[in-house]
């Protein structure tokens, strides 16, 4: 069984047992969270599509850890203007594990 969830402004396809990084959530490590913004649930030929969300569906997950991604460099140069800027950015994330998908 799989589901497409919406979290942090992104849509992600998840299955049971999957570990993934999502946008940072303000929840303590080790707690169990239910995600209720489910766009689609599928199992073989049987698919439920929400409008915009599937009623009564939720994905149970566990918060594993919080962290920060590796640094990306944002470099802007304006030609012939003798102007440039260099900036670094590290995005915060929350690592979760999908425990169960309930339709």
Average pLDDT score, the chain: 96
Q: Determine the pLDDT at residue 7.
A: 95
Is residue 31 situated within a structural domain? yes
Is pLDDT above 90 for 36? yes
d(CA 1, CA 52): 20
Average pLDDT over residues 37-55: 94
Strands 2-7 and 92-102: unpaired
What pLDDT is attached to residue 103? 84
Total number of domains in the chain: 1
In the predicted model, what is the mean pLDDT of residues 74-79? 97
**Average pLDDT for 23-50:** 95
Distance of CA 75 to the CA centre of its chain: 27
Does 16 reside within a domain? Answer: yes
Residue 87 in any domain: the answer is no
Q: Does residue 32 sit within a domain?
A: yes
Interior angle at CA 37, CA 13 and CA 49, nearest 5 = 65
pTM of the model: 0.84
DSSP string, 22-80: EE--S--TT-EEEE--EEEEEETTEEEE-SSS-TT-EEEEEEEEEEEPPPEEEEEEETT
Q: What is the mean pLDDT of residues 50-71?
A: 96
Domain hosting residue 53, numbered range: 2-65+95-102
């Amino acid at each position: 069984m799989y589901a497409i969830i919406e979290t942090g402004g992104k849509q992600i396809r998840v299955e049971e047992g999957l570990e993934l990084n999502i946008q940072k959530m303000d929840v303590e490590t080790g707690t169990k969270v239910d995600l209720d913004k489910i766009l689609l649930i599928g199992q073989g030929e049987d698919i439920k599509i929400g409008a915009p969300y599937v009623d009564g569906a939720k994905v149970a997950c566990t918060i594993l850890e919080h962290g920060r991604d590796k640094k990306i460099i944002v470099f802007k140069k304006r030609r012939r203007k003798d102007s440039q800027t260099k900036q670094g950015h590290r995005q915060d994330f929350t690592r979760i594990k999908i425990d169960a998908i309930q339709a």
